[in-house]
Amino acid sequence: MNDKGQEDPGEDFTSRVGTESPCSDMKRAAAKKLIERYFYQLTDGCGNPQCDNQNCASSGKVTNLTPNQAAAQAIQLFSQEARLCDGTQPNKIPKTSLESGPASLAKSLPAKSINPTCSGEGKQVPYLTESKLLDIIERCKAEGSYSLLIRTLGEVFSSAEALSRSFQRVEKNDSPLTALLDRAPVSLLRPPSDLSKEAVRSLQGEDKDVDSSDPSPAVPHPADTSVDLEAVRRSFTALWSLPGEEFESALVNALVTLADNIELDLRVFGLLPSESTDMLLNIFLIVFEIPVLGSSEYLEYALHMLCKAASCLPIGAQARLTKVWARHCKSRLQSLLQALQQLITIKVIGGSFTRDYCVQDADTITAPTKVMKMLYYASMLAGELDPPDISRDEDRDTSDIDKTSQRIGVTLQQTAQDPLATELGISALDSRQPYINFNDFYNELLSDAVEMDKDFAYYKSEQPKKFSFMNYAFILTPATKTLGLYYDNRIRMYSERRMSFFQSFVGQPTNPYLRLKVRRDSLIDDALVELEMVAMENPTDLKKQLVVEFEGEQGVDEGGVSKEFFQLIVKEIFNPDYGMFTLQEETQTTWFNPTTFENDAQFTLIGVVLGLAIYNNVILDVHFPMVVYRKLLGRKGCFADLKDWSPTLYRTLTEMIDYTGDDMPETFMQTFRVGYKDVFGSVLFHELRENGDEIYVTQENKKEFVELYSDFLLNVSVERQFKAFRRGFQMVTDESPLALLFRPEEIEQLVCGSKVFDFAELEAATEYDGYTVDSEAIRNFWRVAHSLPLESQRRLLQFTTGSDRVPVGGLSRLKMVISRHGPDSDRLPIAHTCFNTLLLPEYESIEKLQDRLLKAINYSKGFGML
């Protein structure tokens, strides 16, 4: 061992030839050390810039040598007993660097030629290894001056070529020279006068069959990297143990220069050869490991420049960087995400944005967002993914479409794929549990600053292509994304109105709205019949704005009547007594009845109702398990979905998978035949495999049983019903960016609203007309409202807004208005649900206000009924 505890090259060699005599061992070790000195003289030099030895790199006369060529030439110099410079000591060589050089050499080299290697033009290029950086730090500490460290960091971190060659990883004893000497026969390491030319050529690699018994080199994993990331982290830890002011300004300036040059090159030259891609990959892996990117000068100057450069990488290079992060940098992902979030937040707060210069135009915001997308996918790759066989094939089999559905003629539109996701072969649907929670990628300040009408216009624009956050939806909160969907829906509605106007102009009048006229006492029959007629005659009418009229009532639908219509129809349709859906007792969720008597058309029209609710921005009182929303986006249900669908069954099957005993058939007594109940409570049986009743679950087939059983429960048993349901849903939403913007759990919020019911949010967001926040009637109103039980608060919300559901983003999104409706009187409060407006008389006492308000919310139904 050398004085630093590193393994000496001579020790390895001696141990491999231990069968020879001690005298022979010493000769071989001495010869090996001498060859190593020649090798490092050729590659690293002696450190004397005035050196005149033509076989020394420091003289500038040795250029363009590959490691193998240098090794062969070192053997020739050894055989010729050529001149050897002083100071080239191989026993100081670190074993973890590809371009190994003397660790102590940095102390003797001037700053401008720290650890040089030769570039393609013969110019010396500096680079760093962990040992070299540690030696420089120790020298600076000893001398009390950090000028050498500053110059070295500035030189290496400002040069793409120098930084890409730094911190290279090679396993112990895998340097080119060591590998060549390891496979050399004993006769090659005899005294110089005995070394033949044939032996030299055999070490030059000209003979391809030197060791034909070795297996072929393994194909490198696409997420592998030549950078020794652990060495990088240790090096940065040692570096930041020093006072930051000693070197950080120089490092920041170097990083800015580096990023600026890389960005310029990428914008000018575009696609790069694989060698350049490898170089850039190494650079970004190193710089994004800097532990203080989210603080001080790095955040202000360097980080956004690095993000701009990284965002210019070709898609293939971005995918490789994403894979390496997922495979080797899990511990770094969270801190890097926080740094990017801080950068975006600071730039949003400090920006002066107008309609002409918005957040989409600021590259200090858009560039880190693009890098965050790589982290987003890296987090998914590093977490738990669905099995690859859970494919998006819900629409592949259409053989069972009934005549009604055939007449509908739905064409399902594929969601535009993100190029990076396509390159990686992944989507948000693949992620069962990401390494970083999806919610951590939301940036609320940015979401509030984005003007979604303009962002939607950028999303739709063709040339020139503008940056749109809708293509980076992971960073937007669900409430903001809902606005993007709203604008898309409204534009389609206005387009349908315009087409209706043109058709009327040419003598073919059509209704610009989707009008439904229904009776309260036969709501479902009327609604489904009218929707079926529309779907059969002209399905595009479903994309018109919905207008509902209750027969015999005075209400004009400006949004409020539609809200009540959806609340009522959903309450009846999803009632288990209706027979189309069942209630999962354990989870209190709604599921498709596998033995229903209703035909496919009925389920298609139910899907239309759900799609219309989303399309018309109405929240429903629907409680589906999460697997329904995953299936609506095209995924098949699998075993993991049972955790939400039936927790007890999931635990039971998990115990079966974890069971290791050989007595499994006797313990579980389970065959490949499973039972379920029909609408009358009778037990029906289904065989998961042919003759399943005769096949018991064993250790060998238990996973197959679990997969088949899960597939039966979530897919096979309700295949007909769900396909019809999804088809109806897609009839309304097929052209919308729903799948682009929302993950399954966010679609649940979109359909059902937020689960947080906080009247304090509603009070803070309420506006007043004729009153002020300090008016006694308003203070009394909120005292009464906050004292009500939850059920009465929901009634008050429904009375005022037409829905008792909380919109995505919370009650603050409702923007309720309380308007003065005259002086004190015996009249009840009145609501305009279309505009979320409560008309409240100025009652003289809190008791009278409470009495009139409770009567209004408890006995109101319909319009003009009181």
Catalytic residues: 834
CB 830 within 8 A of CB 821: yes
321 vs 143, 274, 277, 764, CA distance in Å?
A: 39, 13, 10, 45
Name, in order, each residue with C-beta under 8 angstroms of 602's C-beta and a sequence gap of 6 or more.
528, 580, 724
State the DSSP code for 758.
Answer: -
CB 223: neighbour CB atoms within 10 A?
Answer: 17
Q: Measure the CA–CA gap between 375 and 434, rounded to whole angstroms.
A: 11
Structure tokens at 449: 């600053």
State the DSSP code for 863.
Answer: S
Phi, psi (rounded to 5 degrees) for 431: -85, 115
Residue 709, SS3 per DSSP:
helix
Structure tokens at 743: 């993950």
619-639 burial code (b ≥16 CB/10 A, e <16) = bbbbbbbbbbbbbbbbbbbbb
Beta strand 837-840 with 817-820 is: parallel
State the DSSP code for 829.
Answer: P
Structure tokens at 609: 């109702």
Name, in order, each residue with C-beta under 8 angstroms of 276's C-beta and a sequence gap of 6 or more.
none
> Which H or E element spans position 562?
helix 560-573
How many Cα atoms sit within 13 Å of 617 on the Cβ side? 23
**845-848: long-range pairs with CB below 8 Å, 24+:** 845/780, 846/780, 846/783, 846/784, 848/824
- Write out the E strands in 453-568: 514-518, 546-550
State the DSSP code for 691.
Answer: T
| Amino acid identity at 130 | E
**Which residue's structure tokens are 């810039």?**
49
Structure tokens at 647: 């927790």
- Angle at CA 732, nearest 5°, toward 729 and 737? 95
Phi, psi (rounded to 5 degrees) for 673: -115, 125
CB 306 within 8 A of CB 263: no
Is cis: bond before 220, omega within 30 of 0? no
Q: Measure the CA–CA gap between 294 and 345, rounded to whole angstroms.
A: 12
Residue 767, SS3 per DSSP:
strand
Q: Measure the CA–CA gap between 391 and 635, rounded to whole angstroms.
A: 6
> Which H or E element spans position 178?
helix 176-182
**Which residues, listed in sequence order, are joined to residue 546 by a DSSP beta bridge?**
514
- Angle at CA 574, nearest 5°, toward 484 and 687? 105
Q: Measure the CA–CA gap between 305 and 329, rounded to whole angstroms.
A: 21
CB 509: neighbour CB atoms within 10 A?
Answer: 11
Structure tokens at 463: 């040339």
Beta strand 124-126 with 116-118 is: antiparallel
Structure tokens at 655: 């115990």
CB 398: neighbour CB atoms within 10 A?
Answer: 11
CB 289 within 8 A of CB 236: yes
